[in-house]
Amino acid sequence: MNTKSHMPLTNSLICFIFLSSFVYGQLDYKYYDATCPNLTKIVRYGIWSAISNETRMAASLLRLHFHDCFVNGCDGSVLLDDTSTFTGEKNASANRNSARGFEVIDTIKANVEKACPSTVSCADILTLAAREAIYLTGGPYWSVSLGRRDSLTASQSAANAQIPSPFEPLENITAKFVSKGLDVKDVVVLSGAHTIGFAQCFTFKQRLFDFDGSGNPDPTLDSSLLGNLRSVCPNQSDSDSNLAPLDAVTINKFDNVYFKNLMNNSGLLQSDQALMNDNNTASMVSTYSKYPYLFSKAFAASMVKLTNLGVLTGQDGEIRKNCRLVN
């Protein structure tokens, strides 16, 4: 057979595949290899220095990424400041006085802009930041495909509607995940993110004093944890913003102790402990409490699903120069 006669066909095929990745805008592990080869190093250094300054920042950045992806996709919308034309997500109920890490992303973005101007999206920077933060905190590492573009707008009402609340039943939380293309396993696995970071007292205080209007504490809350939490969060409104660790045993380490805590009635949020009230989710909790490696592997897999939700690619959106503002 004459192989030469096939060359033009092969060339056109390669050309088609190459061009279609621009036209259809696929994410790609090597997306910035030619245009911003030091990207990962810049993000890694930025995260390392932020965490060296404040360990909690790893948790805050992971949550910021989750809140970005859950509201109209991973498009950097959570990073936008309010403007005269839209009210953004920063002041939505789950984020106001709660979402953190914006300055860390600003610093990394400024360094990325110096190395490769107008090339890397804020959405990709936040995605890489979350991955690096978890890895540096002892968690798994996963490959991140890149090429997300930044949104041109943000929506406070979408954030209010789509981000799960710790006060809603597990069925509602699961329904929110399912509506994004995730499943109940992702709910359990990603809730394992609560192995690091802190929550303000108002997010769980009714469990300590007046559970479901009973005038008594939540009977499923371990009594020694109850005592500790009552001292951090006394029954008065000025304790609302005091902080308690989501996993009081290994506060800053990304491990499977969150699941061990749930097995011991020591979940902090009602929505955490609720995973034990359903046979299916409780059995997953039990598995992850026993097998840290399975949790680690599952967390990486669910994170990849989360980071690919509703991304803008190709010609959609833009590459913001400043993560807080549309160009």
Q: Can you give the binding site for ligand HEM, defined by CB under 6 A? A: 56, 59-60, 62-63, 66, 98, 100, 164-166, 173, 187, 190-191, 193-194, 196-200, 203, 246, 269, 271
Q: How far is the CB of 226 from ligand HEM (least distance, A)?
A: 18
Nearest to 128 by CA among 60, 46, 26, 196: 46
CA 46 to chain centre: 18
* Cβ-based neighbours of 117, under 8 Å, separated by 6 or more: 321
Q: How far is the CB of 200 from ligand HEM (least distance, A)?
A: 4
Q: How far is the CB of 257 from ligand HEM (least distance, A)?
A: 14
Q: How far is the CB of 176 from ligand HEM (least distance, A)?
A: 8
73 annotated as ligand-binding: yes
89 annotated as ligand-binding: yes
Q: How far is the CB of 271 from ligand HEM (least distance, A)?
A: 4
144 annotated as ligand-binding: no
* Cβ-based neighbours of 248, under 8 Å, separated by 6 or more: 225, 228, 261, 266, 268
Closer Cβ to ligand HEM, 98 or 239, answer by number: 98
Known catalytic membership, residue 6: no
Catalytic one of 56, 65, 67, 149: 67
46 annotated as ligand-binding: no
Phi, psi angles (nearest 5°) of residue 125: -65, -45
Nearest to 180 by CA among 73, 281, 76, 286: 73
Phi, psi angles (nearest 5°) of residue 244: -125, 145
75 annotated as ligand-binding: yes
Alpha-helix residue ranges (DSSP H) falling in 214-278? 223-232, 257-263, 270-273
164 annotated as ligand-binding: yes
Kindly state the DSSP code that residue 36 receives in the 8-state scheme: -
Closer Cβ to ligand HEM, 31 or 254, answer by number: 254
DSSP E strands in the chain: the ranges are 198-200, 243-245
CB 58 within 8 A of CB 134: yes
Closer Cβ to ligand HEM, 147 or 245, answer by number: 245
Closer Cβ to ligand HEM, 25 or 101, answer by number: 101
CB 307 within 8 A of CB 65: yes
Which residues are part of a known binding site for Ca(2+)?
68, 71, 73, 75, 77, 89, 195, 247, 250, 255
Q: Which residues are catalytic?
A: 67
Which residues are part of a known binding site?
68, 71, 73, 75, 77, 89, 164, 194-195, 247, 250, 255
Which residues are part of a known binding site for heme b?
194
